[in-house]
Amino acid sequence: MMTSAMPIFRVMSLLIVASALAFAGPSPIPSQPPAIAALLKPVVYKRMIDEREVMTSADLEDVPSVSGKTEKTAGLRDYRFYASMWVNASPAATRKVLTDYQAYAQVIPYIDQVHYSEVTKVLQIVGGIWKFKLVSSVQFEERSDRWIRYRIIAGHFKGLEGDILFEPAEEKGTAVLFRGDLRGSQWPPAFVLERGAEIVFGFTAQRMRTLIESKKKEEQPKRPGGSKNDDEIPQPRSRF
């Protein structure tokens, strides 16, 4: 009897363990995206909002060891970057343009080819700056209408993760933050990852913002009885 009963006890034990794991589950995903102001230095956020500057940063740094010294022999480095901007359009309109990934190759000279699958949410992208080319596959996870999480799953910079955040700010406008980071030991030259990335991110943000705001202007309804010359009449400035 004891021998035949042992499998039952084992099955019951496994069921108990499985139930406990299912109850615990993975760590819950935050329902709200992080606030952009909390992710940027105050002076950076202020310049983005008040001066409409496109703010970019890209840094490749040695990983500190436990003793506080850098592990130069191991070659481990942290790569972090961000690009932020304020757009004179709603979050929905801003997101619509920025997630039209197929259009990037037509608008941005640093991007040669793109292919996005609505089914798999994977973007295949080919591009680069100077003589350095990037070929990567990016997996997107839409966590909310204001938050897109992404991860490079193949190609260059595999494992790099980051966020695209959309946040209402200043007179019906939208603050946008694109950021990412990766720890690794094999890297292109630092000037490409830092200065090159800042050039690409800055130009891309400027071009996409112009596209978003031009679409908003095109979609604005004409006043009854208005004419094409109405646009030539000076209008009061909405912000200073």
Which pLDDT tens digit goes with each residue over 133-165? Answer: 889 999 999 999 999 999 999 999 999 999 999
Note the Cα 143 to chain centre separation in Å: 12
Confidence band, pLDDT 50/70/90 cuts, at residue 187: confident
Higher pLDDT, 27 or 213: 213
CATH 3.30.530.20 fits 36-220, yes or no: yes
Higher pLDDT, 190 or 218: 190
What are the boundaries of each domain within the chain? 36-220
Percent of the chain scoring above 90 in pLDDT: 57
pLDDT at position 21? 40
Higher pLDDT, 22 or 184: 184
Of the CA atoms within 13 Å of residue 9, those in its CB half-sphere come to 6
C-alpha to C-alpha distance for 205 and 202, rounded to whole angstroms:
5
Which pLDDT tens digit goes with each residue over 24-79? Answer: 444 455 568 899 999 999 999 999 999 999 999 999 999 877 655 554 546 789 99
The average confidence (pLDDT) of the chain is 81
Q: Is the pLDDT of residue 210 over 90?
A: yes
Which pLDDT tens digit goes with each residue over 13-26? Answer: 444 444 444 444 44
Confidence band, pLDDT 50/70/90 cuts, at residue 189: confident
pLDDT at position 11? 42
Indicate the pTM of the whole model.
0.74
Higher pLDDT, 181 or 73: 181
pLDDT at position 229? 45
CA dihedral sign of residues 7, 13, 16, 21: negative
- The residues with which 78 forms a beta bridge, in sequence order, are 61, 183
pLDDT at position 236? 42
Which pLDDT tens digit goes with each residue over 78-131? Answer: 999 999 999 999 999 999 999 999 888 888 988 999 999 999 999 999 998 888
3-state secondary structure the chain: CHHHHHHHHHHHHHHHHHHHHHHHCCCCCCCCCCCHHHHCCHHHHHHHHHCCCCEEEEEEEECECCCCCECCCCCCEEEEEEEEEEECCCHHHHHHHHCCHHHHHHHCCCEEEEEEECCCCEEEEEEEECCEEEEEEEEEEEEECCEEEEEEEEECCCCCEEEEEEEEECCCEEEEEEEEEEEECCCCCHHHHHHHHHHHHHHHHHHHHHHHHHHHHHHCCCCCCCCHHHHHCCCCCCCC
